[in-house]
Amino acid sequence: MSAARPMPCPQCGYDLRGHAREGTFRCPECGTETSIEVMRDWERRRTEWRPVDTALVLCGIVPGMVTTLTLLAGTPGGTRWGFPMSIVWVACILLSIGLAWIGSDRHSPVRRAIHTLLAPIVVTILNLAVALVLSAVGLSILSLRADP
């Protein structure tokens, strides 16, 4: 690793440039013992695509998305939401895809929050929030059209 590139601690992510030396050394932030070789290996593993990680995130997101869309589909009257259900479906699907993409980075803060068991709850809440915002915007548009 060159000195110009960040050298994050494998445990906490603290930039170890200036602290790294040959052999082993400790991270001043978390105290983890590491070496330049370990950091190189960690950087390589951190940036490679992991299908298993993406699958875990998607397995959490799909139930949340299905729950949200089932709840929305059970609501009588599409005009009550202000938008056709197809727009709500597309918004929820795009949000879920975005969460899957963000969650596929092993070290992102979102990944820590979206564990396999929590993902359906998180996605359901986020999708319902998007649907509520869309319904508020849609109802505003409908009320503007209705007013002469």
| pLDDT, position 141 | 64
| pLDDT, position 26 | 83
Q: What is the dihedral of CA 36, 40, 46, 49, to 10 degrees?
A: -170
Query: Within the chain, which residues score under 70 in pLDDT?
Result: 1-5, 20-21, 41-65, 67-86, 88-89, 92, 96, 99-120, 135-148
| pLDDT, position 127 | 74
| pLDDT, position 10 | 73
Which tokens sit at 93?
A: 């699907």
Alpha helices by DSSP H, listed for the chain, are: 36-47, 51-73, 85-103, 109-113, 119-146
| pLDDT, position 8 | 76
